[in-house]
Amino acid sequence: MSNIGTVGVVGAGQMGNGIAHVCALAGYDVHLNDVSDEALARGIETIEANMTRQVSRSLITPEEMTAGLKRIQPGTGLDVFGKVDLAIEAATENREVKEAIFKSLCDVVPERAYLATNTSSISITRLAATTDRPEKFIGLHFMNPVPLMKLMEVIRGLATDQETYEMALGFADRLGKTTTNAEDYPAFIVNRVLVPMINEAVYALYEGVGTVESIDTAMKLGANHPMGPLELADFIGLDTCLSIMQVLHDGLADTKYRPCPLLVKYVEAGWTGRKAKRGFYDYRGDEPVPTR
């Protein structure tokens, strides 16, 4: 992809730092943006820790790690995005927040630059319509954790042109990702299937069908899932799971996508999973302990 040399990533959280990580290792210069120096410091610290882990497993060399880290330039301002060829938004799963980011990006990124969103559920067409270049806008949904997961969902909006789509395929290939094409419907493919399953597991807990531990054990040993659905929900973030269920419920108007009241209650309590140290498990001790 000779026309992509510099990538801007907005958001240094769980997804954003992972995207910056793989872009830097693939040889791209990366501008990593977030609202505070503290958030950026946490993001860079996570990238260093994850790259160190890759070195210890001989997945990358120490030289590749050093070169990759040098390619990442963190900052709280968007001015440097005036030099990017591709800007990827990886902020919280909230439509208003994402729309505000893209409006700000359009003021600074070059006319030639492509825009992409890492949204896991929100309409690509709707987000693209808030920009000055809907034809150069595309959905690039990375899986979490980004450095480990091989899949990238590529989602075209109604106005996305063929050149932008081909750019996305080439970009994914250079990152070592396998792509799957999803149509622009709520939650696309992975989360259209995965998150309702998680929501159903929360319903099973809510209705007393099983405990947190029994539900997760049943799915790990009975369905051969590497993580139980409630453990996975904590890893994803219960607030993200709730947002995706709300998008599905609103967008498809089907009661089968109604978020479980217990999921809503956990999010209201601020128990959003691993990042908050409490969710369906309590992570404040040496070992996770079920909270129900």
Among residues 33, 153, 231, 243, the one annotated as catalytic is 153
Mean pLDDT of the 277-283 span: 97
* Structural domain for 195, as ranges: 191-287
pTM (global) more than 0.75:
yes
Q: 260: closest CA among 209, 186, 187, 185?
A: 209
Distance spanning both ends of the chain, measured CA to CA: 50
* Residue 189, pLDDT score: 96
Query: At 258, which CATH number?
Result: 1.10.1040.10
Among residues 33, 50, 191, 243, the one annotated as catalytic is 191
Place of tokens 């026309």: 3
**Residue 17 and residue 51 in contact, taking contact as beta carbons nearer than 8 Å:** no
Mean pLDDT of the 272-291 span: 96
In whole angstroms, give the CA distance from residue 91 to residue 94: 8
Q: What's the pLDDT tens digit per position in 175-226?
A: 999 999 999 999 999 999 999 999 999 999 999 999 999 999 999 999 999 9
Number of domains in the chain: 2
Q: Is 118 a catalytic residue?
A: no
The answer on 108 and 10 residing in a single domain is yes
Q: Is 153 a catalytic residue?
A: yes
1 lies in some domain: no
Q: What's the pLDDT tens digit per position in 28-40?
A: 999 999 999 999 9
140 lies in some domain: yes
The answer on 242 and 178 residing in a single domain is no
Confidence label for 1 from pLDDT (cuts 50, 70 and 90): very low
Q: Is 48 a catalytic residue?
A: no
Q: Is the pLDDT of residue 284 over 60?
A: yes
Please give the structure tokens belonging to residue 93. Answer: 């799963």
Total residues belonging to the chain: 292
Q: What's the pLDDT tens digit per position in 136-176?
A: 999 999 999 999 999 999 999 999 999 999 999 999 999 99
34 lies in some domain: yes
Mean pLDDT of the 95-118 span: 95
In whole angstroms, give the CA distance from residue 116 to residue 141: 9
Q: Percent of the chain having pLDDT more than 70?
A: 99
* Residue 62, pLDDT score: 96
**Residue 152 and residue 179 in contact, taking contact as beta carbons nearer than 8 Å:** yes
The answer on 228 and 171 residing in a single domain is no
203 lies in some domain: yes
The answer on 213 and 159 residing in a single domain is no
The answer on 253 and 147 residing in a single domain is no
The answer on 170 and 122 residing in a single domain is yes
The answer on 211 and 150 residing in a single domain is no
In whole angstroms, give the CA distance from residue 172 to residue 142: 10
The answer on 199 and 135 residing in a single domain is no
State how beta strands 151-156 and 86-89 pair. unpaired
Among residues 17, 120, 123, 199, the one annotated as catalytic is 120
* Residue 187, pLDDT score: 93
The answer on 34 and 16 residing in a single domain is yes
The answer on 268 and 244 residing in a single domain is yes
Who contacts 205 (Cβ-Cβ below 8 Å, separation ≥6)? 211, 212, 215, 230, 262, 280, 292
Q: Is 200 a catalytic residue?
A: no
Q: Is 237 left (phi over 0), alpha (psi -120 to 50) or beta?
A: left
Confidence label for 3 from pLDDT (cuts 50, 70 and 90): confident
* Residue 93, pLDDT score: 87
Among residues 17, 93, 118, 141, the one annotated as catalytic is 141
Q: What's the pLDDT tens digit per position in 224-258?
A: 999 999 999 999 999 999 999 999 999 999 999 99
* Residue 2, pLDDT score: 53
The answer on 172 and 70 residing in a single domain is yes
Domain limit, last residue, from 182, 200, 221: 182
292 lies in some domain: no
The answer on 124 and 265 residing in a single domain is no
Q: What is the mean pLDDT of the chain?
A: 95
107 lies in some domain: yes
Q: Is the pLDDT of residue 58 over 70?
A: yes
In whole angstroms, give the CA distance from residue 70 to residue 29: 9
Domain limit, last residue, from 123, 148, 182: 182
The alpha carbon torsion through 88, 93, 98, 100 (nearest 10 deg) reads -140
Domain limit, last residue, from 152, 182, 212: 182
